[in-house]
Amino acid sequence: MNINELESEIFDIEKTNFEEKALAVFRFQALHLPIYKQYIELLKIDISSIHSIHHIPFLPISFFKSTEIYIPKKDENHIPSLVFKSSGTTGQIPSKHFITDSKIYESSFLRTFQSFFGDVHQYCILGLLPSYLERGNSSLVYMVNQLIKKSEHSLSDFYLDNQETLYQAILKLEEQKQPTLLFGVTYALIDFAEKYPMPLNYVKIIETGGMKGRREELTRKEVHALLKNAFSIPHIFSEYGMTELLSQAYSLQNGIYEGPNWLRVLVRELSDPLTIKSIGKGAINIIDLANLYSCSFIATDDYGEVFENHSFEINGRIEQSEIRGCSLLTV
């Protein structure tokens, strides 16, 4: 299967043929992504011996901090003009994700959004992402900005620190009975909830994680309980994404995430990172086939549990790994 066929089939994948497509992407990246090829060689792994996703070597996520991980799409000298950077706190080295083809990212997040929430045109999209917006180069801001544009609603916008303006917009949207999605970084949502508690019937909240050192760290359950109480709503949605991925997973309730068919979460043993399982508890490995021109096989620093239906839960960070802005403790 050549690269053009792979690219055209990524988003039409079915759960039943995920492994076939994942192995095809693995062989492509093992040959054409220099740092991944070198990593496989150092592990003394024969590419031709890999016939299961459980045997694919996963690149440690820390490589995105020190290496330019991408496969040029046009020619050897093509340098991607779009680079996403992580939000790392002061003193941390940010991850960089070089985007060879922004259309793949847009297809990934739009198709995923539609599968969870339906047509974006029916919504007003609000963004309360001050730290991400101020920093720039954020994959989350890029996604929400595109959703804002596609919604075409007059009140769809980012609200940096304009909490009074956001409050007035929400009052108007509630009065109009307009279905609305509010994407918010955790600390900003808590600030807003404390200042402007109100019952919400038509505005749904999607928290994206992140205290950014602005507040005491809370568990996800504590955050959701606080927001549900402030806004008199039964559920808080969550988005699981990161700079190094071009796909997202969403939780619509109870902190259990599901992703699109081209994303699969596995777990690895903490004591043996090459021992990988489809279900159970362990360190989180992610296969994101939308990362076609970077690396689709990433060993994250998150700890969690994967269930039989491929849904998963994030339970925290692996001890001694850096705390990332996009994750919340959940235990």
Q: In this predicted structure, what is the pLDDT of residue 5? A: 85
- pLDDT of the residue at 253: 86
Integer-rounded Cα radius of gyration of the chain: 20
Q: Which amino acid type is present at position 153?
A: H
Is the model's pLDDT at 175 over the cut of 90?
yes
Average pLDDT of the residues in 88-109: 87
Is the pLDDT score of 322 beyond 50?
no
Other Cβ atoms less than 10 A from the Cβ of 194: the count is: 10
pLDDT score, position 326: 45
Strands (E), the chain: 59-60, 82-85, 96-99, 124-128, 157-158, 180-184, 203-207, 237-240, 249-251, 263-268, 276-277, 280-288, 297-306, 312-317
Q: How far is CA 25 from CA 38, 99, 122, 221, 327, in A?
A: 17, 17, 35, 37, 27
pLDDT band at 133 (very low <50, low <70, confident <90, very high): confident
pLDDT band for position 91 (cuts 50, 70, 90): low
In the chain, the domains with their CATH numbers are: 3-80+259-317 (no CATH), 104-244 (3.40.50)
The DSSP code for 321 is S
Q: pLDDT tens digit string along 218-257?
A: 888 899 999 999 999 999 999 999 999 999 999 998 889 9
Give residue 215's pLDDT: 56
How many Cα atoms occupy the beta-carbon half-sphere of 205 within 13 Å?
31
pLDDT at 212: 56
List of E strands, 275-321:
276-277, 280-288, 297-306, 312-317
pLDDT confidence of residue 214: 58
pLDDT of residue 154 exceeding 80, the answer is yes
pLDDT in tens, 266-308: 999 998 888 999 999 999 999 999 999 999 999 999 999 999 9
Mean pLDDT of 45-67: 96
CA distance 305 to 311: 9
Q: What predicted TM-score, i.e. pTM, was given to this entire model?
A: 0.92
pLDDT at 330 over 50: no
Residue 325's pLDDT band (cuts 50, 70, 90): very low
Structure tokens at 126: 């609000």
How many angstroms separate the CA atoms of 238 and 171, rounded?
23
Report the C-alpha gap between 197 and 228 in whole angstroms.
10
**At residue 300, what are phi and psi to the nearest 5 degrees?**
-85, 175
- Please compute the mean of the pLDDT values over residues 136-152 and round it to a whole number: 95
Predicted local distance difference test score (pLDDT) of residue 290: 97
CA 112 – CA 119 distance, rounded (Å): 11
